[in-house]
């Protein structure tokens, strides 16, 4: 039997929205069961599986949950647990008569989270030089050789994780963001075996957010600043200057880390002496 992945994903998006419009909190498995019941899928459709063994309908529902969350229509309140958002309720009313909801409708609707997701995904793909052929919405092709499917799946998963992590960093509290930066640098090997670090940040201080000690005495410290602004902002000279003044008074080792783009013209002395950018 022919199973059009894109068509069923669009159908499951509509069914998922209809199911969740009652504002109840549901586990992922409850959403699967509810959508299948609403969709009245035939036994023949329900038995169709991918080469991996996953039921095709279940895969389509999983995609619908994922895209709804990225669009800000569903909120993942805990692991595998979801609830509709206020904007989701608005969309449920607007789209209540639709039997299929495509991503084109997302693009046409006023969904800030979806626009932000697309922008972040495009930027990450650009940096990784991913081909459009490995798009998240590429239809599964049973005829594609397994190695190609696996490579594409890994690339897609890496992109999705990158976008989700970036979203969490941008939406989390300042404290969460600053501590995440410190933990990242510790995981990269700074701080030695003792993991010597201190979170020192205060809201809107413009200065040092953390210190990583390269030795027990703290003689060789690395001073950290974590910068986060609105998603469209760039980090430029005016953002570096307060940090430069703070850490130059104490040491010559400093890291300014941000999830945003840097301006094309960072401070000249940064470029000349110790500028480095990590993607």
* Span 183-233, pLDDT tens digits: 888 888 777 666 677 777 665 555 567 888 776 665 677 778 777 766 666
> Of 57, 76, 110, which residue sits at a domain end?
110
Return the closest-CA partner of residue 197 out of 209, 251, 176, 250: 209
Residue 103 in any domain: the answer is yes
Residue 233 in any domain: the answer is yes
Residues 17 and 101 in one domain: yes
Region 118-123: what's the mean pLDDT?
A: 81
Which alpha helices (H) appear in 172-236, and where do they start and end?
174-187
Distance CA 26, CA 261 (A): 37
CATH code of the domain containing 72: 1.10.10.10
Distance CA 217, CA 182 (A): 19
Return the closest-CA partner of residue 87 out of 100, 69, 104: 69
Range of the domain at 120: 112-171
Task: Quote the mean pLDDT of the chain.
Answer: 77
Distance CA 178, CA 196 (A): 16
Q: Which residues pair with 26 in a beta bridge?
A: 82
Higher pLDDT, 253 or 30: 30
> Of 94, 110, 126, which residue sits at a domain end?
110
Q: Is pLDDT above 50 for 133?
A: no
Give pLDDT, residue 278: 45
Residue 10 in any domain: the answer is yes
- CA atoms within a 13 Å half-sphere pointing along the CA-CB vector of 272: 3
Backbone angles phi, psi at 238, to 5 degrees: -65, -25
Please count the structural domains in the chain: 3
Region 58-79: what's the mean pLDDT?
A: 91
CATH code of the domain containing 267: 3.40.1350.10
Residues 1 and 98 in one domain: yes
Residue 40 in any domain: the answer is yes
Residue 279 in any domain: the answer is no
- Give the pLDDT confidence of 234-258 residue by residue, as tens digits: 666 666 666 565 555 555 566 767 7
Residues 146 and 91 in one domain: no
Residues 63 and 164 in one domain: no
Residue 43 in any domain: the answer is yes
Among left, alpha and beta (phi > 0; psi -120 to 50; other), residue 75 is beta
> Of 121, 141, 171, which residue sits at a domain end?
171
């Amino acid at each position: 039997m022919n199973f059009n992945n894109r068509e069923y994903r669009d159908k499951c998006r509509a069914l998922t929205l209809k199911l969740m419009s009652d504002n109840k909190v549901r586990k992922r498995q409850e959403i699967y069961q509810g959508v299948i019941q609403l969709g009245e899928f035939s036994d023949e459709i329900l038995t169709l599986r991918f080469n991996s063994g996953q039921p095709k309908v279940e895969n389509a529902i999983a995609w619908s949950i994922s895209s709804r969350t990225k669009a800000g229509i569903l909120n993942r309140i805990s692991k595998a647990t979801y609830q509709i958002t206020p904007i989701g309720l608005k969309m449920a009313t607007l789209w209540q008569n639709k039997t299929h909801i495509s991503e084109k409708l997302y693009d046409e609707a006023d969904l800030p989270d979806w626009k932000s997701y697309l922008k972040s995904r495009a930027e990450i793909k650009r940096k990784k030089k991913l081909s459009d052929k490995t798009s998240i919405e590429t239809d599964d092709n049973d005829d594609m050789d397994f190695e190609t499917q696996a490579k594409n799946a890994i690339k897609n998963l890496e992109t999705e994780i990158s976008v989700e992590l970036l979203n969490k960093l941008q939406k989390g509290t300042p404290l969460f963001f600053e501590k995440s930066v410190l933990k990242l640098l510790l995981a990269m090997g700074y701080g030695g075996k003792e993991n010597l670090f201190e979170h020192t940040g205060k809201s809107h201080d413009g200065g040092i957010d953390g210190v990583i000690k390269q030795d027990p005495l703290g003689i060789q410290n690395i001073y950290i600043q974590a910068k986060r602004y609105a998603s469209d902002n760039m980090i430029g000279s005016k953002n570096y200057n307060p940090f430069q003044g703070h850490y130059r008074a104490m040491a010559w080792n400093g890291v300014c880390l941000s999830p945003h783009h840097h301006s094309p013209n960072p401070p000249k002395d940064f470029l000349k002496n110790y500028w480095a950018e990590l993607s």
